[in-house]
């Protein structure tokens, strides 16, 4: 595992990803926050201004802080600021997303027409269902299919909770982050099939979108191999449905421009 983690111990910047995207047939991407500081959000917006292929930024703001409205006004002035994420799966309280202080901040996102990315572990899905039920006008994107226990081959209770979440029409799902939940060095595409079956059955191709989780995915596999998991899986769908998964659903979920 140590040698695999070495893949992340260097800078990963837009020119590197741009080449990978083009080779894979994609003309744009959405960059998503990693650190919970507003300075990173400003840096990502600067990168999006410099590199046209970055179509949107999902940044971080302090949803529980006293300066939230001010932060949202600052960032939403940039048309590429399309969403917000908090690293909920690192919070010790599984009910974090339904705490009053968090809900108060979440209620402001609709005012700025921003999506919210749900970064969760399976045990936090029930609370996410409560959150989504309380905010029917808010667009949500479930990241990394909620990180099921692929390495152990477990489906429940993840699959049942996932279906509950998918019952809300304002939730999209990103098929990403799967290789890091599998055996990093021994996975095969077949290992992901039960999980992809579950998410595509729950959300349908009309609310699923492909994601890479680059550069984190490189601890397990190169970008091309990671993207091929979903690209090959969706060959069962119509050309129109494949287009939705490969880009059009992201445009809808994040209100991307250009």
Please list the helix, strand and coil fractions of the chain in percent, rounded to the nearest 5, in that order: 50, 10, 35
- Of 69, 126, 137, the C-alpha closest to 96 is 126
**Res 11: pLDDT:** 75
C-alpha 198/C-alpha 204 separation (Å) is: 10
pLDDT at 14: 87
Q: Are strands 115-118 and 208-210 parallel, antiparallel or unpaired?
A: unpaired
Q: Which two tokens stand for residue 251?
A: 């445009």
In contact, 162 and 125? CB cutoff 8 Å: yes
pLDDT score at 7: 66
- Tell me how far apart the alpha carbons of residues 52 and 237 are, in angstroms, rounded to a whole number: 30
DSSP-derived letter for residue 252 is: H
Domain 2-254: what homologous superfamily?
Metal-dependent hydrolases (3.20.20.140)
Percentage of the chain exceeding pLDDT 90: 92
Element (H, E) at 177: none
Q: Which residues pair with 216 in a beta bridge?
A: none
- What local confidence, expressed as pLDDT, does residue 72 receive? 97
Question: What's the pTM value of the predicted model, to 2 decimals?
Answer: 0.95
Please report the pLDDT score of residue 12 as a whole number. 80
Q: Which two tokens stand for residue 239?
A: 């050309």
* Nearest of 18, 50, 48 to residue 33 by alpha carbon: 48
Round to whole Å and give the CA distance between 240 and 246.
10
Q: Which residues contact 254 (CB under 8 A, 6 or more apart)?
A: 30, 55, 56, 58, 82, 83, 115, 141
The pLDDT assigned to 4 comes to 57
What H or E segment, with its residue span, contains residue 159? helix 158-166
Give residue-wise pLDDT tens across range 87-105.
999 999 999 999 999 999 9
Average pLDDT of the segment spanning 41-48: 97
In the structure, what pLDDT confidence band is assigned to residue 256 with cuts at 50, 70 and 90? very high
Tell whether the model's pLDDT for residue 79 goes beyond 70.
yes
For residue range 194-243, list pLDDT tens digits in order: 999 999 999 999 999 999 999 999 999 999 999 999 999 999 999 999 99
Tokens of 136: 């029917």
Cβ(151)–Cβ(182) below 8 Å? yes
For the segment 154-191, what is each residue's pLDDT rounded down to a tens digit? Answer: 999 999 999 999 999 999 999 999 999 999 999 999 99
Residues 6+ apart with CB under 8 A from 217: 176, 177, 179, 180, 223, 226
Q: Who wins on pLDDT, 12 or 136?
A: 136
The answer on pLDDT for 2 being more than 60 is no
Cα separation, 218 vs 180, whole angstroms? 9
Task: List the strands of the sheet with 208-210, edge to edge.
Answer: 29-32, 54-59, 81-86, 115-118, 140-142, 171-175, 208-210
pLDDT at 1: 47
CB atoms within 10 A of CB 134: 13
In the chain, where the domains are located: 2-254
The chain-wide mean pLDDT, for the chain, equals 95
**Encoded tokens for 16:** 């590197």
pLDDT over 80 at 126, yes or no: yes
pLDDT, one tens digit per residue, over 231-252 is: 999 999 999 999 999 999 999 9
């Amino acid at each position: 595992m140590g040698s695999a983690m070495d893949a992340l111990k260097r800078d990963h910047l837009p020119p590197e990803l741009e080449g990978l995207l083009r080779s894979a047939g994609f003309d744009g991407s959405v960059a998503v926050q990693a650190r919970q500081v507003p300075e990173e959000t400003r840096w990502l917006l600067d990168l999006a201004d410099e590199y046209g292929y970055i179509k949107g930024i999902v940044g971080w703001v302090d949803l529980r802080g006293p300066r939230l409205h001010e932060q949202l006004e600052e960032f939403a002035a940039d048309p590429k600021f399309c969403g917000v994420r908090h690293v909920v799966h690192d919070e010790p309280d599984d009910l974090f997303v339904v705490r009053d202080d968090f809900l108060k901040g979440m209620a402001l996102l609709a005012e700025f027409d921003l999506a919210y990315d749900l970064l969760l572990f399976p045990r936090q899905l029930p609370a996410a269902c409560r959150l989504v039920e309380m905010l029917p006008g808010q667009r949500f994107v479930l990241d990394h299919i909620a990180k099921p226990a692929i390495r152990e081959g477990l489906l429940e209770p993840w699959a049942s909770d996932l279906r509950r979440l998918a019952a809300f029409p304002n939730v999209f799902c990103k098929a990403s982050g799967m290789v890091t939940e599998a055996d990093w060095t021994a996975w095969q595409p077949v290992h992901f099939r039960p999980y992809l079956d579950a998410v595509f059955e729950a959300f349908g191709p009309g609310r699923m979108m492909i994601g890479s989780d680059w550069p984190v995915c490189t601890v397990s596999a190169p970008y091309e191999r990671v993207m091929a998991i979903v690209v090959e899986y969706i060959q069962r769908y119509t050309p129109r449905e494949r287009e939705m998964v490969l880009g059009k659903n992201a445009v809808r979920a994040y209100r991307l421009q250009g």
